[in-house]
Structure 1
Amino acid sequence: MFIGIIFFFVIGLIIFPIIKGISIWSNNNQQPRVNAQAKVVTKRTSVHGGGETNAHNSYFVTFEFDSGDRLELQVKGQEYGQLVEGDNGELQFQGTRYLGYTRYRNYI
């Protein structure tokens, strides 16, 4: 009986993140694609793992819209490196999915 409970608990720990990921993916697909003027206000990283396992970095960027609202989106490492706090440009996103950012050029 105890082994059966542990078995279902472990299976639940495996299946729950899969179902959650599919739910987020589906919800993002139902959202409209949005292009909006936004400013990069902050960047952060989150490190998972390490020790005897491989470390995994997650990269996040917070954008601020003209209305003052802010949105934090997860981005790929290459995008994270190219975005600079204070950049002004056009953000493309769909739900919580980052699609791209086009920086405005400031001519002097």
Structure 2
Amino acid sequence: MGFGFGNWIFELMFTIVPLLFIVLFVYIFVRGFKEHQYNKNSPRLTVWAKCVVKRYKHSGTHEHHTHTNYYATFEVESGDRMELAIYGTEFGLIAEGDEGMLTFQGRKFISFERNKKPQA
């Protein structure tokens, strides 16, 4: 009665959709693992830096299941800038224009000690 074509598409969707979810999950896992390995294998550095910009990214609905990511852009003595994801507690303590000792490892923020002068 014409159900053959519809059944074929239905069965195909039950194969493709789970495969897409599996591929997406593996991609996200591998990307996160590579980022972790990069940070782990990078040296921990402490440099004099100035916080030049702060921003946050809010995701989710306004009613339930919201998440906020916090970022700060630091400028080091050479003039290079780096944006690092920071904790919400640090976001509230760091102001744009603050100078101090920034400690990071790879792309991972460790700490920022405001107004601490580097020892010559």
TM-score, normalized by the shorter chain, greater than 0.5? yes
| CA distance in structure 2 between the partners assigned to 1:72 and 1:55 by the alignment | 23
Question: Between Structure 1 and Structure 2, which shows a larger proportion of helix residues?
Answer: 2
Q: Comparing 44-53 with 94-103, which one deviates more in the overlay? A: 44-53
Match of 2:88 in 1: 77
Question: Between Structure 1 and Structure 2, which shows a larger proportion of strand residues?
Answer: 1
5+ long unaligned stretches in structure 2: 1-11
Match of 1:56 in 2: 67
Q: Please, what TM-score do these two structures have when normalized by structure 1?
A: 0.91
Whether 1:19 aligns to 2:48 is no
Counterpart amino acid of residue 20 in structure 2: F
Runs (4+) of structure 1 exceeding 2 A deviation are: none
| CA distance in structure 2 between the partners assigned to 1:41 and 1:6 by the alignment | 44
Q: Please, what TM-score do these two structures have when normalized by structure 2?
A: 0.82
Q: Percent identity?
A: 35
Shift of 1:5: 1.4
The count of aligned residue pairs is 106
| CA distance in structure 2 between the partners assigned to 1:36 and 1:105 by the alignment | 11
| CA distance in structure 2 between the partners assigned to 1:12 and 1:81 by the alignment | 38
Shift of 1:10: 1.2
Counterpart amino acid of residue 44 in structure 1: R
Which structure has the bigger radius of gyration? 2
- Counterpart secondary structure, 2:112: strand
Map 1:2-17 → 2, pairs under 5 A: 2-17=13-28
> Structure 1 89/18 Cα, relative in aligned 2: closer, same or farther at 3 Å?
same
Which residue, out of 38, 42, 51, partners 1:31? 42
- Counterpart secondary structure, 1:85: coil
Q: Comparing 1-10 with 65-74, which one deviates more in the overlay? A: 1-10
